[in-house]
A = this chain, B = another copy of it.
Amino acid sequence: MAVPPGVSEREWADALKQFQQALGSGGVFTSDEDVALYRDFYSPLWGEAEERVASAALAPDTADQVQQIVRIANTSRIPLYSIATGRNLGYGGSAPNLAGSVVLDLKRMNRVLEVDDKRHFAIVEPGVSYFDFYRHIQDRGLNVWIDCPDPGWGSVIGNALDHGVGYTWGAFRDHFHSHCGMEVVLPNGEFLRTGMGAVPGSRTWAEYRYGYGPYVDGLFSQGNFGVVTKMGFWLFPAPETYLSGTVTVPKRADIVPLVDIVNYLEHAGTIGMPRYGSPLGQVRDQELADLVAQPGGPSTDDLDAFAARRGVAAWECKLQFYGGAEVVAAQWAYAREKLSVIAGARFEDTEFYRFPLTAEQAERAHKVALGIPNLSIFAGGARSELNPSPRDGHVFFAPVIPKSGRAILDAMQVFNPVVREVGFPNMVSFFKAPNTWMFRAFVFLYSFPISRSDRAQNRRVREAFPRLVRAAAERGWGEYRTPPVFQDLVMDAYSFNNHALRRFSETLKDAVDPNGILSAGRGGIWPRHLRNTRG
């Protein structure tokens, strides 16, 4: 049995006894096979000495039990690492920053405490997955949607706290931004309620976010200032219909006006999430491959000429509308009118659904765009006739870039050479489209393959990361989210004034968690006694 760092075997045995008293033996996991379940199955350090594995896990059922755990840990100086459902795959899974931490696993706390479909909010516990949340709403016929990320098994709270994102309307896709009110167990074991939740008997917990005085909620996201045990969220009132339409533009440089116009439509509230792509990038053809293989990459003129000859568009954008049937039709007509200023723009009606969906529609639809959690994202990487050698996993490199067409073209120029040099030539693309989950910025996502048998490949990934992060930082870009093994690296780029932001957060950390027991290292924030071990 592993012993957490910084404690003796005897102290650990004593703490375990206390944890068992608090949780019962069914809530304390110390066997190798149990603890192995908390490894990050997508770890780029899989099986190596440096892999960050937990020493044990604790699974409370109630917030009171969380409080007891934190109190025991604080007294005994046991390092805890809190997770919700532990599904943060590609960004660290359920494994800690600090090897030997005890995972505080909140997945048993899976109660949906309240859903109001007149005021459109919910209050949930951290173990509530998107599946749980959706089923709760569907079973009761409530008139609200959720906004979910690709994999539906993740935690609503956990995703929000890691600044996770979704697929519907701008106001709801930023999951932390659409939260309202929290209950937290602080590192000293005290309960804190934020916002209006701090008023005893509060009636507006999930309606007004600030309450009174300094607004502290942000500290509990991508950080280690407390264990969130309840959280309110604003919900999307269920729309009556969904319409999508696709615009294509012929030339490579058309991405610049395309983004400008789509920005206008989205920021003004006319459309939901736009989805960019490159039809040209889908063409499998030797002539195009030769163009792309030119030293320094393809010329814009060559690409445009090729695209014109083949009648393929350089770029496309799928626009999505939610609302009354006549409203979405008018919005789509308006969008077409605005986009028609781009010479050669073409339009296609893509989908129209009136809710509730038929079973056939639900099967065919892009489910997350309709707030329906699912796991189909994993199908793309699963073993199949088309993909006989699926990856074991992946880690995401996710730089935030400006919301402009120019930045899209720039990003490929910046990252392609690095991706090629570090040994992933198949990931070089001149047709990469940005992800649009965030309301006001693009994020350029690279999914690097992880292997549980090929350490050399994992090492290449680990070597690639610092170069990519630096290439981004040189452009004034930074990443929004990353696995524990790269969190210090990513935070390093946020270095204005000799890392003032990190130093500020660590000053706060020392004040709130003087023993440094909670999720040491998360978000690049280390407690004082471990600061010299920063990666």
Contacts and interface: CB of A to CB of B under 8 A. Distances in A.
A323 B270 contact: yes
Nearest to A223: B214
Interface in A423-463: 438, 440-441
Contacts of A407: 203
Contacts of A221: 210, 214-215
A207 interface: yes
B234 A323 contact: no
Interface residues of A, number: 107
Contacts of A511: 507-508, 510-511
Interface string A472-514: 0101111111100000001101111100111011011011100
Contacts of A170: 171
A163 B501 CA distance: 23
A451 B320 CA distance: 55
Nearest to A474: B201
A70 to B, nearest CB: 14
Contacts of A397: none
Interface string A118-136: 1111000000000000000
Contact of A214 (B191, B210, B222, B490): B222
A199 B441 contact: no
A240 to B, nearest CB: 9
A401 B119 CA distance: 12
Interface in A212-248: 212-225, 234-237, 239
Contacts of A200: 473, 476, 495-496
* Copies of chain A in the complex: 2
A260 interface: yes
A234 B440 CA distance: 8
Contact of A496 (B163, B180, B199): B199
Contact of A204 (B121, B215, B402, B505): B402
Contacts of A478: 196, 198-199, 202, 204, 211-212
Interface stretch (A72-80, A300-308, A327-335): A327-335
A515 to B, nearest CB: 14
Contact of A208 (B201, B269, B480): B480
Given A215-B219, A508-B512, 20 more contacts: A118-B260, A119-B403, A121-B440, A169-B269, A171-B171, A192-B500, A196-B478, A203-B407, A203-B477, A207-B441, A208-B400, A210-B218, A210-B480, A211-B480, A212-B222, A212-B494, A215-B223, A327-B327, A330-B330, A508-B508
B190 A524 contact: no
A191 B496 CA distance: 9
B208 A219 contact: no
Contacts of A192: 496-497, 500-501, 504
Interface of A: 118-121, 143, 163, 169-171, 176-177, 180, 186, 190-194, 196-204, 207-225, 234-237, 239, 260, 263-264, 267-270, 322-324, 326-327, 329-331, 333-334, 337, 400-404, 407, 438, 440-441, 473, 475-482, 490-491, 493-497, 500-502, 504-505, 507-508, 510-512, 523-525
Contacts of A438: 208
A199 B399 CA distance: 12
B500 A190 contact: yes
A481 B213 CA distance: 8
A514 B114 CA distance: 41
A119 B401 CA distance: 12
Given A210-B163, A222-B212, A199 B118 contact: no
Nearest to A120: B267
B501 A512 contact: no
Contacts of A404: 118-119
B263 A208 contact: no
Given A478-B199, A495-B198, A508-B511, A502 B270 contact: no
A126 to B, nearest CB: 18
A213 B324 contact: no
A490 B198 CA distance: 12
